[in-house]
Every structure is written in C-alpha cells, then in structure tokens.
C-alpha cells in the first residue's frame, strides 16, 4: 500500500488517535484468535468495518528521548589537576548559587601567599625607583642650570672683551703711537734747530747732545709704540680671541654633554620605573589569577536545574564516575544542569518521512516512564543532516526532530527518558475511508473485500491519502459497505477468478 503524507494546519485529537489505536488492537487480537485464511465462513462483527465518510488524521510516529530545552555545563577552571573534596549527589535539584563541587584549595592558598609577598616586594621596588627618577630629574635640572650659567658667562665674557677690552686696548695703543709720533717729530725738529744753533755756536755741544739723546729716545718710544700695536693685533688679540671663543665653545659643549648625560640618566630611571611597574602589574595579575583559582575550587550553580555528573553525560565507565577523591584536570566537565522545567523530545524520523515534518506542527508525546500520560507539543525544529543507524543498521537514515513539550503537569521528567511522539502532518476531511489492514494487493491491483452475506466480493479500489490507521478510498466502494478487516477464509470469495492480474 502506498502512503501519501501531507502537511496539516489544524490541531490534533489525542482521544481520537488513542481510540483508533484501541480498535486496531482489538481487531488484531481477534484475527490472531481466529487465524487468517480459516475455512470458517462465519464472521464476527468485529471482523467487519462499515466504510464511512468522515475525517481522519495523518500522523508520523517517532521515538527518541527527552532532553532539556536549556542546560548549563560547569567545567573545572583550576589549572593542572585538582582533587574533589566535596560533591553534591547526582540528581539533586539545585538553585542558583548552591555549592556543587569543592576541590582541594591548599595549593591555591600557598600560591596566593607567595604571590602576595611578591606583590609587596614589587610595590616597594616601584616606590624606590620612583624616588630615583625624581632625584635624577632634579639633578638634571641642577646640572643643566649650572651649564647654562657657564655658557651665559662665557658669552658675556666674550662680549665684554670684544666690546670693552679690545676697544680700550686699541685706543690706548693708538694714543701711545700718536703721542710717540708727535713727540718724535717735535724732538727731531728741535734737534735740527739745535744743529743750526750749534753751527752758529748759539748753544753748547752738551745742549746739542742732550737734544740728540731726547730725539733718540723719542725714536725708540715711537718704534716701541708701533711694535706694541703690531704685536697686539697680530698675536695678543688673536690669542685672547681664541681663548675667549674656546671658553664659550667648551661651555656650550659641556651643556650638550650635561643635557645628554642627564637625559640618559633620567630615561634610565624612567625605564627602571616602567619595568618595576610592569613587574608589579605582572605580580598583581598573578595574584588575581591565583585568587580566581581559589574561587574556582568552589563550583556553584549558575542556573536552576538538576545535577548530572559530567561522567554520566560523557558515557564514562562507572569506575570513573566523579566522587570525593577524584582527580580532575582543567576544562574537565564536572556537572551539567539541565533545566527540567522545560523539556524537549528529541525523536528520530525516517528519512523517507522527514520531508513532511515542519516547524510548528502539533504533536503528542508519551514517556515510557509515564505510559498513561499524554503531553501535547509542537515541532520546534528538524535536523539539517541525517544520522545513520550506526553499526547495528548502517543503511538506516533518520533525521532528528525536536518537539517542544507544551505542558509538564508536575511530572518528574528527566533527560534521557525514552519517549514516543506522534506528529500530526495533515487532517483528511469529509472523505470515504477504511482501516489500512482492510486493503489488500493482488499483483498490481489494490482491493478490499466487501461482505455479501456470509461471503465476500473482491472490489478493486483507488487509494488516496493515508495514515497509520486509515486510508482514503477515491473509487470502488461506497459509504455503508461492510469491509472485511482480515484475509477472507478459503473459498469465501465470490469473484476471485474475475480479478484482473
């Protein structure tokens, strides 16, 4: 029988499906008691179904397990390996802030103590180097000030020499030279007159010689004045100029050297201070990290939920289950807190049927743990990729479908509980239909057996849409026909020879 599945926009009747399922169970039970292919032509009313015009629902069955709609994973954040000293019992329902796991914190406390001492030492080093920097900066200011004063004094000395001493000296030498020239000219003229007077014997030889001596002295004074001026301009002035300019240059160079040296000293002090600050930050970060490690030794619930050990979720060997004394490494999954107030059914739908399942379709969910409880739900999502059946059935392909459970009336639901879901994909309205077990095949012909007294007529029919329980009849029979729900007894079919092949 070919089954066609369609999407539905209407609700689902849970009572109708359960009632129909009950009818099928009764029919199958009677069939087993009487046995298909029996020679008896006497049929019970339960073997017959009156073809009716009405509605039936097209559903897709699925099975799987419950999962939490939301869950929080708590992992070990302690560096290295830690030993569990206390752990809450698995299955305990906890609230935010409840302590779940405590781990041995002795190592963390020892590290914090050492780190605190290192922070104090590093802070002292920062203070010392801050003072050193301040001293270097003040020393730089002082030395630069002295060097600048020396440069200023050298510049003033050069200006005072150029505009004072040089001018005065040159004026003095010029005056001495002019005086010597005039004195020499006067005495030379006097001597010439004395020669004339001596020739006339107006003066004595002694007077003449006295005038000559005075003239000779005047010549010597003139020569000395000229020599003094020449020596000064050629040698003394140049020497004094070089000395004064050298003093200024040395003062300027000393200023540059002082500036470079003190700047290097200050920069070195700054670098030392920055290194000390960086070291302090590093020590503080390490202390904070150790303090965080101490806090990480106590794992608290960050959400409400039920405690599930990480070893349970990960499928660990029971011998490796978490307990007091267990050693856990960093990032090890310790506890999972599923929120049991909102559960989802994670069910598998065969690949052939998955195309008919869509979000927002209604569904009903039943748990193996609570077989009498039927919960309503809605398809939340359909998996993107199919999953194979594993080594047990590698050819099977299923899609994961998440069904949001709308109500959980105070049920103690837990993740991984086995469940079944029935997804409503369509409702066939006002159509002639019969139970699926009443439809048979003879070669390529689809037929039903219509009761004719104590015997049956094989009637070919055209099928339409179908569900797990009913199939739509498009042509072949009419409402009110009594349809046999099982194989007819041998010899009870009126027209078996007339059936098309």
pLDDT tens digit sequence for 330-355: 999 999 998 878 889 999 998 888 88
Cβ neighbours for 219, distance < 8 A, ≥ 6 positions apart: 184, 188
H or E segment and range at residue 460: strand 455-460
DSSP letter (8 states) at residue 132: H
Taking Cα atoms as reference points, which of 312, 327, 365 lies closest to residue 71?
312
Question: What is the average per-residue pLDDT within 134-158?
Answer: 94
Instruction: Determine the pLDDT at residue 14.
Output: 33
pTM: 0.53
Instruction: Determine the pLDDT at residue 317.
Output: 55
Instruction: Determine the pLDDT at residue 23.
Output: 35
**Is it the case that residue 246 has pLDDT exceeding 50?**
yes
Which band of pLDDT confidence, cut at 50, 70 and 90, is reported for residue 8?
very low
Please say whether the beta carbons of 339 and 69 come within 8 A: yes
Question: What is the average per-residue pLDDT within 372-378?
Answer: 91
Which residues pair with residue 457 across a beta bridge? 450
Q: Tell which CATH architecture fits domain 108-296.
A: Orthogonal Bundle (1.10)
**Domain over 14-70+339-498 is classified CATH 2.40.50.110:** no
Which band of pLDDT confidence, cut at 50, 70 and 90, is reported for residue 46?
low
pLDDT tens digit sequence for 421-472: 999 988 899 999 999 999 998 888 999 999 988 889 999 999 998 887 899 9
DSSP letter (8 states) at residue 470: E
DSSP 90-117: TT-EE-TT-EEEEE--HHHHHHHHHHHH
Cβ neighbours for 186, distance < 8 A, ≥ 6 positions apart: 218
**Is it the case that residue 57 has pLDDT exceeding 70?**
yes
Q: How buried is 366 (Cβ within 10 angstroms: 0-12 exposed, 13-18 middle, 19+ buried)?
A: buried
Dihedral over alpha carbons 116, 117, 119, 120 (to 10 degrees): 120
Instruction: Determine the pLDDT at residue 300.
Output: 94
**Domain over 71-104+297-336 is classified CATH 2.30.30.60:** no
**Is it the case that residue 358 has pLDDT exceeding 80?**
yes
Instruction: Determine the pLDDT at residue 315.
Output: 60
DSSP 327-393: EEETT-EEEEEE-TTSEEEEEEEEHHHHTT--TT-EEEEEESSSTT--EEEEEEEE-SS-EEETTTE
Most confident of 9-18, 31-40, 301-310: 301-310
Lowest-pLDDT range, 40-49, 186-195, 474-483, 485-494?
40-49
**Is it the case that residue 6 has pLDDT exceeding 50?**
no
Please say whether the beta carbons of 420 and 434 come within 8 A: no
Same fold, 71-104+297-336 and 108-296: no
Query: 455-460 and 462-466 as β-strands: parallel, antiparallel, unpaired?
Result: unpaired
pLDDT tens digit sequence for 174-183: 999 999 999 9
Which band of pLDDT confidence, cut at 50, 70 and 90, is reported for residue 219?
very high
Instruction: Determine the pLDDT at residue 26.
Output: 32
The three-class DSSP label of residue 314 is coil
Q: How far out from the chain centre does Cα 422 lie?
A: 41
Which band of pLDDT confidence, cut at 50, 70 and 90, is reported for residue 7?
very low
Instruction: Determine the pLDDT at residue 3.
Output: 33
Q: State in Å, rounded, how far the first CA of the chain is from the last one.
A: 17
Please say whether the beta carbons of 68 and 449 come within 8 A: no
Mean pLDDT for all residues in the chain: 85
Question: What is the average per-residue pLDDT within 152-162?
Answer: 93
Domain ranges of the chain: 14-70+339-498, 71-104+297-336, 108-296
């Amino acid at each position: 029988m070919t089954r066609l599945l369609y999407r539905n926009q209407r609700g689902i009747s849970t009572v109708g499906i359960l009632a129909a399922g009950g009818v099928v169970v009764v029919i199958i039970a009677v069939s087993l008691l009487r046995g298909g292919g029996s020679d008896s032509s006497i049929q019970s009313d339960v073997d017959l179904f009156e073809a009716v015009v009405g509605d039936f629902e097209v559903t897709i069955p699925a099975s799987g397990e419950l999962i939490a709609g939301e869950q929080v994973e708590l992992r070990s954040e302690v560096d290295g390996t830690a030993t569990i000293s206390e752990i809450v019992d698995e299955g305990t329902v906890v609230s935010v802030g409840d302590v779940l796991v405590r781990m041995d914190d002795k190592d963390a406390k020892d590290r914090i103590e050492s780190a605190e001492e290192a922070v104090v030492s590093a802070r002292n080093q920062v203070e010392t180097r801050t003072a050193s920097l301040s001293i270097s900066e003040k020393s730089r200011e002082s030395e630069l000030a002295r060097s600048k004063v020396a440069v200023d004094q050298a510049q003033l000395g050069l200006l005072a020499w150029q505009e004072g001493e040089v001018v005065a000296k040159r004026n003095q030498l010029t005056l001495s030279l002019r005086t010597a020239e005039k004195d020499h000219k006067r005495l030379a003229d006097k001597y010439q007159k004395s020669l004339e007077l001596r020739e006339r014997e107006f003066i004595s030889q002694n007077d003449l010689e006295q005038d000559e001596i005075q003239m000779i002295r005047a010549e010597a004074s003139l020569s000395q004045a000229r020599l003094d001026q020449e020596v000064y301009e050629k040698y003394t002035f140049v020497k004094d100029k070089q000395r004064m300019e050298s003093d200024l240059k040395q003062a300027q160079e000393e200023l540059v050297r002082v500036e470079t040296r003190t700047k290097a000293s200050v920069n070195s002090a700054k670098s030392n201070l920055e290194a000390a600050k960086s070291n302090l930050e590093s020590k503080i970060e390490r202390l904070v990290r150790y303090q965080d490690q101490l806090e990480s030794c106590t794992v608290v619930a960050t959400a409400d939920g039920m405690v599930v050990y990480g070893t349970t979720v990960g499928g660990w060997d029971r011998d490796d289950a978490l307990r007091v004394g267990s050693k856990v490494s960093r990032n090890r999954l310790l506890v999972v807190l599923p929120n049991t107030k909102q559960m989802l059914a994670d069910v598998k739908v065969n690949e052939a049927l998955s195309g008919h399942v869509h979000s927002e379709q209604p569904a009903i969910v039943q748990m193996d743990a609570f077989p009498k409880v039927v919960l309503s739900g809605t398809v939340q999502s359909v998996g993107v990729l199919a999953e194979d059946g594993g080594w047990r059935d590698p050819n099977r392909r299923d899609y994961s479908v998440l069904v949001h459970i709308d109500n959980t009336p105070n049920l103690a639901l837990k993740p991984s509980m086995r469940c079944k879901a029935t997804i409503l994909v369509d409702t066939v309205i006002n159509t002639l239909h019969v139970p699926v077990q009443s439809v048979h095949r003879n070669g390529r012909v689809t037929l039903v057996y219509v009761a004719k007294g104590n015997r049956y007529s094989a009637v070919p029919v055209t099928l339409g849409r179908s569900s797990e329980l009913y199939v739509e009849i498009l042509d072949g029979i009419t409402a009110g026909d009594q349809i046999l729900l099982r194989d007819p007894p041998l010899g009870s079919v009126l027209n078996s020879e007339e059936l098309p092949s």
